[in-house]
Chains A and B, each alone.
Chain A
């Protein structure tokens, strides 16, 4: 596989969509995601000769893409920049064929996902978006299974609150951060 563009082309065909989704959902920006997957595939190509098969190819590739994304997030933290608006390439195009209500939801979820801490975001992208087993996500991230579960739980709770806030702002749904015996109520975190 190493050094063989044709063999690697087959890998791109097999895994390209999934890895693109990981980068896009993790970074939330089309151009950043494009740069990340380009970096990742080039890195994978160069490392292919050293791939020993200790993990599945898909796990190995996911790990490289996730690391490429995390590198970009960390660099952005160190050197914050303001992206110049560029017609037609600044953000991911909307799903044109979705019904309006569904499209709004999708956009809300995308925006809320990007608002999460990156560790929670990556865990949710792998487990919920990509539907990978928690164990495989843990292997990709190099953390214990319990850590992935915890990050997912915190991320889902935060997403639920963010999405509820969005909808309550729109007047479509009451804020439901705190739960009570009669249903959603209050605006703070519940207390045990």
Chain B
């Protein structure tokens, strides 16, 4: 070691890496390190290793997007585009204040369809509900009326049928299952379907509930009205749309909520399948279908 060098002992690798990255704060320190390294084979070797690490990292760069992942992204974006258009059409007459961002004037046909949706939602929805406060044939557990009804801060569950069928939906059967759900709902006229005996209200601690316990239920968060409302807003790109049905169930074996929203016509509904993590922090959904009734 030379007394002219401030480094009487050898620098650690981190210092050499900082030198390499131009990350040393003091120019004098960098200059002193340069002097040391110039006459120190060991330090030169260590410095070469840092350069080697950079080269090895650069070798990791080539990584084409896998076809299956690209397809997932394409499908999600396409579904989102459809959902945005559909919810705009469906929500327009219901919540005009939220349509300031609309860019297109609704066509007369769209207006007519929306009016029909409005009528169905306003008049027919209660008739189609399996159970309400005075509904017959429904147990307290599968009563679907939100306890939060009337609370202005919890809208999505207001008038929504909440189920917990536990059914394991799949991509191939989703349309048929939802049609079955809706037809059963209509035909039973206030009675819960056989497989909804685990039906739960939105309140996670609702008395009399059956099925998974609160502690182990992965969907427990979404049973809270505010969380469900946030999930639905996320699915609908920020719009407040009242779901027709929410089913706490599974999708391909994973916990999921199936959210059925009014479609662009009275003959259709929009079906979103969302994971247990659904919310603003996790905007992805598992599946989306537009289903004819």
| Residues of B contacting A45 in the complex (Cβ-Cβ under 8 angstroms) | 77, 80-81
Known contacts A150-B18, A160-B49, A192-B9, A16 near B65 by CB under 8 Å: yes
Contact with A along B45-63 (1 / 0, CB 8 A): 1100110111011111111
Indicate if the CB atoms of B14 and A21 lie closer than 8 Å.
no
A 1-35 contacts with B by CB, 8 A: 3-5, 8-9, 12, 16-17, 19-21, 24-25, 30, 34-35
Interface membership of B282, Cβ < 8 A: yes
Interface membership of B284, Cβ < 8 A: yes
A141 to B18: give the CA distance in the assembly, Å: 19
| Residues of B contacting A39 in the complex (Cβ-Cβ under 8 angstroms) | 282-284
Nearest CB to that of B64 among chain A residues? Answer: A17
| Residues of B contacting A178 in the complex (Cβ-Cβ under 8 angstroms) | 10, 12-13
Indicate if the CB atoms of A24 and B80 lie closer than 8 Å.
no
Interface membership of A143, Cβ < 8 A: no
B 237-280 contacts with A by CB, 8 A: 237-238, 277
- Count A interface residues, CB 8 Å: 64
Indicate if the CB atoms of A109 and B57 lie closer than 8 Å.
yes
Indicate if the CB atoms of B41 and A181 lie closer than 8 Å.
yes
A153 to B24: give the CA distance in the assembly, Å: 10
| Contacts across chains A and B counted by CB atoms under 8 Å | 189
Indicate if the CB atoms of A192 and B58 lie closer than 8 Å.
no
B 1-60 contacts with A by CB, 8 A: 7, 9-18, 20-23, 25, 40-43, 45-46, 49-50, 52-54, 56-60
Which of A38, A46, A179 touches B10 (beta carbons < 8 Å)?
A179
Indicate if the CB atoms of B23 and A153 lie closer than 8 Å.
yes
Interface membership of A129, Cβ < 8 A: yes
Chain A nearest Cβ from B69, distance in angstroms: 5
Interface membership of B76, Cβ < 8 A: yes
Indicate if the CB atoms of A34 and B72 lie closer than 8 Å.
yes
Interface centre among B15, B54, B101, B277, by most chain A C-beta atoms within 10 angstroms, is: B54
Indicate if the CB atoms of A43 and B283 lie closer than 8 Å.
yes
Q: How large is the interface on B (under 10, 10 to 19, 20 to 34, 35 or more residues)?
A: 35 or more
A 123-158 contacts with B by CB, 8 A: 124, 128-131, 146, 149-150, 152-154, 156-157
A12 to B66: give the CA distance in the assembly, Å: 12
Interface membership of A71, Cβ < 8 A: yes
Nearest CB to that of A188 among chain B residues? Answer: B12
Contact with B along A170-191 (1 / 0, CB 8 A): 0000001111111111000111
Chain A nearest Cβ from B288, distance in angstroms: 11
| Residues of B contacting A19 in the complex (Cβ-Cβ under 8 angstroms) | 65
Indicate if the CB atoms of A21 and B63 lie closer than 8 Å.
yes
Nearest CB to that of B22 among chain A residues? Answer: A149
Contact with B along A101-115 (1 / 0, CB 8 A): 000011001100100
Indicate if the CB atoms of A109 and B284 lie closer than 8 Å.
no
Interface membership of A159, Cβ < 8 A: yes
Indicate if the CB atoms of A128 and B12 lie closer than 8 Å.
no
Indicate if the CB atoms of B9 and A149 lie closer than 8 Å.
no
A156 to B78: give the CA distance in the assembly, Å: 41
Indicate if the CB atoms of A185 and B49 lie closer than 8 Å.
no
Contact with B along A69-96 (1 / 0, CB 8 A): 0010001000000000000000000000
Can you name 20 extra interface pairs (CB under 8 A) apart from A109-B56, A179-B45, A184-B45?
Answer: A8-B77, A12-B74, A12-B77, A16-B65, A20-B65, A21-B61, A34-B72, A38-B72, A39-B284, A42-B284, A46-B283, A128-B53, A128-B54, A149-B21, A153-B21, A156-B53, A159-B53, A177-B13, A179-B42, A179-B43
**A/B interface sample: 8 pairs, CB < 8 A:** A5-B78, A12-B65, A71-B281, A106-B59, A131-B58, A149-B21, A154-B17, A184-B45
